[in-house]
Amino acid sequence: MSPSVESADTSHQKRTAVHVHGLALLTLSFQTLGIIYSDIGTSPLYVLNGIWPATGPAPSEEDVIGGLSAIIWTLTLLPLLKYVFICLHFGTNEGEGGTFALFQGLFPPEETDYDADRNLTGDSHRTEKPYNQSKLSMKLRWPLLVWLPKALFGTSLTLADGIFTPAVSVTSAVSGIAVAKPEVSSEVVPISIAFIVVLFLVQSRGTSILAYVFAPVTFAWLVLLAATGIVNIVSFPGIFRAFDPSRAVLLFVRTKDYDLLAGILLSVTGCEALFANLGQFNMLSIQLSFGSFVYPSLVLAYLGQGARLVVDKEAVLSNIFYKTIPGPQNGPLFWILYVFAILATLIASQAMITATFSLIQQLVNMRNFPPLRFKYTSEVIQGQIYVPIVNWILMIAIIIIVAAFKSPTALTNAYGFSVATVMFATTILISIQIVYVKRKPVMLALAFFFGFGFLDGLFWGAALKKVPEGAWVSLMIGLVLLIITVFWSWAKGLEDRFDGNNRRNLRDIIIRKDESEESDMVAVRVHSPDIEDIEDDHDDLESMRKSERYYVLDDVGPGSGLREVDLHSEPALGLKAMTRIPTCAVFHKLTAGRGVPHTFVSFFRQWPALPRVVIFLSVRVLPIARVSLDDRYIVSKVRTLQGFYGVTYHIGFRDEFDVNVDDIIERICSLEAQSSLPESTLLIQEIRNVAKSSTHIVPHYVVSSTHLAGGKLTKVVNWVRRFLIEDVYRSIATMFPETANWLGSADKIIHVGISATI
């Protein structure tokens, strides 16, 4: 390949975590209130009734203090210590968080060499870079990825959590109307569904805009929680004994009621959002906002509710949150809190919706999920995205869940299982990362695992007992998503492996061998009057440009090298040159790598001729919002083969895909103009002429299942494998093409299906 025409320094940029300081950090911290914390911030709506149901007896003073102690220390140890001050340090280099990001940290994807991607004649295109030896053995990759409740299952249940969070929180908030207006209690479900529909209709506005709108509401909500908590604490100051952790232990010793943990677990719903939404914000902003504002507000709210429950007992048990609001039930403060509760729960839903978008983005980028269409909504943060199809599927699923369960109590039974499982998965993966990524002592990893794993295990066991009472729904959703991700990872991996193993040197295919002849020689067309100059370095042909001749690469014997041939006088070579036609073709490379993909080889085997100008186009999305028109293309040409060019097209994450062939041609002409050949002027004019009729060739594989050899059981395996690959995977790949966002004018596009046996 010749030296490239470089467009910009931006070509070497990579996506990194967001780094802000000063006022920008405070602004970002304020934005987190509107996206991350409303889920955990709205837990006071239903936690105490989740521990002591409205239909049961009122708890004793010691039980209330013990229950509050368990809540306070759960908030302290899990969201504050585990997630905010430990887990946030384990995001990816791109700043993403969540269970799948932890897996990606253990097995990071290989970095794409975009310079090598433009090398169409490289002989080393099959060389594979091994993973760093400090990483886990590749033998553990699939067990770690699949085995419950690790990476993909934890990710799947986080997505399931994105369905239950809006259902539980919105229904709990709306049900407060039955406290003041019992006659409309039957309308709770339709009112909740109406609010949910509105929430999903505004998702396309983007995380940043929604955060600016939602953050003040969440801020006011948390201030109201803290203020009412302080007022309620005055009625029973002895509630501060809940800070003694022994009170929590004595509660379970005294009652022997393990099921109480399922209700206490509800106080930390949404804590995974603190980690999963890392890509939407950054570590410092989350630590600052949660540690200094959200955590103390929640503690005060729970203490206040507990104080009133000790004093008023059965009078407030039917709906502890709404009935412990200071003042009359129909007073102004009641309705202010009611309005803010509904708004806050809508925003709570936003926390898991945005977390779901981020997780889907990670899965797609790692090729573990069908490629979906993304819409980037921020000019600054690449992690802030909107995924239309996921948005509408979530909305439909949530509406079905709300309508099916009908009451907040039934929903909370189904809610806790996914929360507990995801927390357990995070603990396992963090423990492994401490040793293999952070390179810390094994004892530190064991301390983390046994310390937080013990807590997670207690909560997971309590949540598991709720499976017959509704938790089976979240388990089923998680398993369905797990099956999708594992299946797609397997099938896409087979296709990518086929593509990588069948890449070819461009020189080997444009001069084709007759099928009736056998020859290890390949004829190439170069511009050279002097054969001696190319015997030592086949790629260094810059000085050989005066006449068009054909050569054969002969690697046999002591005189190995290139020798000139006349294809018409030496038919025994079994070679024939492909005719060039006056047109321009833009061939889209779907995967990165040296050489040309198998899709190109198969496509042009069916053609009797080659276009005069062939452009192999690779696309790279840079970690900046927009790339200027002058900086979008890097162009390289093949020295030994006239008319072939490798192009990397750079776009920002908010740019529309719009390949301008005229711009590429101008850069090609500039590259050719650097040559001192006397015929370069004529060559440039020829390129400009043929570029007037350009065609985009968009290839895709039509996959078939390879036949495995074996015994009787193999017949069944082959049938299942063929069904999964040819019927299921092929159909899904057609529905979700990798080029969904790339297509322009349909009349200039040729969609090509190439057979591939995987």
Q: What is the pLDDT of residues 404-454, one digit of tens each?
A: 876 666 676 667 777 888 888 889 889 988 988 888 999 999 999 999 999
pLDDT for the residue numbered 408? 66
Instruction: Burial-class residue 70 by CB neighbours within 10 Å (0-12, 13-18, 19+).
Output: buried
Residues 6+ away with beta carbon under 8 Å from 630? 7, 8
Read off the pLDDT of each residue in 659-666 and give the average, rounded to a whole number.
Answer: 87
Q: CA-CA distances (angstroms) from residue 250 to 76, 83, 257, 457? A: 19, 27, 11, 19
pLDDT at 76 over 90: yes
DSSP 245: H
Q: Where is pLDDT greater, at 195 or 508?
A: 195
Q: Where is pLDDT greater, at 563 or 632?
A: 632
Write the DSSP assignment of 480-537 as a string of letters. HHHHHHHHHHHHHHHHHHHHHHT-B-THHHHEEEPTT---S--EEEEE-S-GGGGSS-
What would the two tokens of residue 29 be? 């911290």
Name residue 697's beta-bridge partners. Answer: 587, 750
Q: Which fold has domain 35-107+154-420?
A: Amino acid/polyamine transporter I (1.20.1740)
Is 583 in contact with 694 (CB distance < 8 Å)? yes
Give the span between the Cα atoms of 36 and 173, in whole angstroms. 18
Name residue 564's beta-bridge partners. Answer: 551
Instruction: Burial-class residue 569 by CB neighbours within 10 Å (0-12, 13-18, 19+).
Output: exposed
Strands (E), 41-139: none
Read off the pLDDT of each residue in 234-251 and give the average, rounded to a whole number.
Answer: 95
pLDDT for the residue numbered 141? 54
Band (pLDDT 50/70/90 cuts) for residue 98 is: confident
What would the two tokens of residue 99 be? 């269970």
Percent of the chain exceeding pLDDT 70 equals 75
Checking phi first, is residue 96 left (phi over 0); if not, alpha (psi -120 to 50) or beta?
beta
DSSP 42: T
pLDDT at 75 over 90: yes
Give the span between the Cα atoms of 203 and 3, in whole angstroms. 46
Give the span between the Cα atoms of 316 and 335, in whole angstroms. 17
pLDDT for the residue numbered 385? 77
| pLDDT tens-digit series, residues 351-381 | 677 778 877 877 787 778 888 887 777 666 6
pLDDT for the residue numbered 345? 83
Give the span between the Cα atoms of 86 and 70, in whole angstroms. 21
Percent of the chain exceeding pLDDT 90 equals 22
pLDDT at 95 over 90: no
**Hey, how many other C-beta atoms are within 10 angstroms of the C-beta on 54?**
12
Band (pLDDT 50/70/90 cuts) for residue 325 is: very high
- How many helices, marked H, and strands, marked E, lie in the chain? 29, 13
Name residue 651's beta-bridge partners. Answer: 621
Give the span between the Cα atoms of 490 and 728, in whole angstroms. 13
Instruction: Burial-class residue 498 by CB neighbours within 10 Å (0-12, 13-18, 19+).
Output: middle
Name residue 579's beta-bridge partners. Answer: 609
In 3D, which of 410, 412, 344, 433 has the Cα closest to residue 104?
A: 433
Give the span between the Cα atoms of 83 and 583, in whole angstroms. 58
Element (H, E) at 332: helix 332-365
How far out from the chain centre does Cα 508 lie? 38
Q: CA-CA distances (angstroms) from residue 196 to 350, 412, 471, 692? A: 10, 18, 22, 52
pLDDT for the residue numbered 254? 93
Name residue 5's beta-bridge partners. Answer: 635
Is 755 in contact with 602 (CB distance < 8 Å)? yes
pLDDT at 248 over 90: yes
State whether residue 657 is helix, strand or coil.
coil
Give the span between the Cα atoms of 617 and 360, in whole angstroms. 26
pLDDT for the residue numbered 74? 96
What would the two tokens of residue 647 be? 């192009």
Q: CA-CA distances (angstroms) from residue 633 to 5, 8, 595, 647? A: 8, 8, 19, 7
Is 495 in contact with 756 (CB distance < 8 Å)? yes
pLDDT at 295 over 60: yes
In 3D, which of 695, 696, 671, 693 has the Cα closest to residue 684?
A: 671
pLDDT at 64 over 90: yes
How far out from the chain centre does Cα 319 lie? 39
Give the span between the Cα atoms of 29 and 27, in whole angstroms. 5
pLDDT for the residue numbered 61? 95
State whether residue 750 is helix, strand or coil.
strand
Lowest mean per-residue pLDDT among 143-147, 223-227, 404-408, 487-491? 143-147
Burial call 87-100: b when 16+ CB within 10 Å, e when fewer: bbebbbebbbbbbb
Name residue 565's beta-bridge partners. Answer: 550
Q: CA-CA distances (angstroms) from residue 735 to 305, 372, 581, 727, 729? A: 51, 10, 34, 12, 10
Give the span between the Cα atoms of 473 and 159, in whole angstroms. 13
Is 436 in contact with 106 (CB distance < 8 Å)? yes
pLDDT for the residue numbered 727? 92
What would the two tokens of residue 415 be? 């809610």
Give the type of residue at 463.
Answer: A
- Length in residues, the chain: 758
pLDDT for the residue numbered 560? 37
Band (pLDDT 50/70/90 cuts) for residue 682 is: confident
| pLDDT tens-digit series, residues 609-624 | 788 888 988 888 776 6
Phi, psi angles (nearest 5°) of residue 8 = -165, 160
**Hey, how many other C-beta atoms are within 10 angstroms of the C-beta on 618?**
20
pLDDT for the residue numbered 444? 95
Give the span between the Cα atoms of 69 and 62, in whole angstroms. 10
Give the span between the Cα atoms of 57 and 314, in whole angstroms. 8
Q: CA-CA distances (angstroms) from residue 734 to 456, 700, 728, 740, 753? A: 41, 9, 10, 10, 10
What would the two tokens of residue 587 be? 């061939």
Is 110 in contact with 129 (CB distance < 8 Å)? yes
pLDDT for the residue numbered 653? 64
Element (H, E) at 695: strand 694-704
| pLDDT tens-digit series, residues 718-752 | 999 999 999 999 998 888 877 655 554 445 677 78
| pLDDT tens-digit series, residues 164-207 | 878 877 887 887 776 767 766 678 888 888 988 988 888 877 76
Is 23 in contact with 288 (CB distance < 8 Å)? no
pLDDT at 114 over 80: no
pTM: 0.71
Residue ranges matching CATH 1.20.1740.10 in the chain: 35-107+154-420
| pLDDT tens-digit series, residues 541-600 | 333 333 344 444 444 444 434 445 554 444 434 555 567 788 888 888 877 777 788 888
Q: What is the mean pLDDT of the chain?
A: 77
**Hey, how many other C-beta atoms are within 10 angstroms of the C-beta on 694?**
19
DSSP H helical ranges for 597-660: 598-605
Phi, psi angles (nearest 5°) of residue 594 = -70, 160
Q: Where is pLDDT greater, at 17 or 526?
A: 17
pLDDT for the residue numbered 571? 45
